[in-house]
Structure 1
């Protein structure tokens, strides 16, 4: 029989399993506001992916930020960054980076703040 302590152990182990024990993405420069969209390869092969990876590819048929992905899947933002970076490296998603040369967009900053507040 399992109890509350066992459930907590499983909850702590799950993110570790999703990222194969990694805490940093293969591309450490991915911003939480970076936009992610499923590629043609991702559309074709997403049924073969496992668990959260498949969920991310399905979610990103509509462009969404890394922060939104984390909120929608109820996973830690760091885990989302690792999974998105892996998927991008394999060609299942495309990451569109914010243009750092343009002036700060107040509307974008407000959207990011609302997205972060939704995660809480």
Structure 2
């Protein structure tokens, strides 16, 4: 079964942030929201992650601006993107130097099925 919850659909200053539920898996697709309180407030003790994994489609701010703050709030939450996107993500956080931004996003290769967790495989294709 597939369900989708839209935290943001790209109105105003916010970009895209969707939670997809595929069977038992919770996948956050992009985090283009400037204020991640929607993701953190539901879970004040931070014991429950807002998703099982995060997939970032590309490095434009309307899809990625909240990822660094999300990583700071939930450092154990795995975040994935293509190799190119992973390298470009720091451009979204110009108030920090590159050395201040940890390598929190795990790069995935194109055209290679990767099992991210039991029963959940992704394969990236360039658009």
Interval containing the TM-score (normalised by the shorter chain): under 0.3
- Determine which structure has more spread, i.e. the larger CA radius of gyration: 1
As a proportion of its length, which structure holds more strand? 2
**Normalized against structure 1, the TM-score is what?**
0.26
**Normalized against structure 2, the TM-score is what?**
0.25
As a proportion of its length, which structure holds more helix? 1
Higher relative contact order (CA 8 A, sep 6+): 1
